[in-house]
Structure 1
Amino acid sequence: MTKIPPTEFGAELVSIMRNVLEEAVERINYENRTPATKAKMAERIVLTASSGVTARDQLLLAAVAEGREPAA
Structure 2
Amino acid sequence: MGRSVALAYVLWFFLGSLGIHRMYCGRISSGVTMLALTVIGGITFPIFIGHILIFIVGVWWLIDLFLTAGMAMRGR
More helix by share: 2
- From the CA coordinates, give the structure whose radius of gyration is larger: 2
TM-score, with length taken from structure 1: 0.37
Q: Compute the TM-score of the two structures, normalised by the length of structure 2.
A: 0.36
Structure with greater contact order relative to length (CA < 8 Å, sep ≥ 6): 1
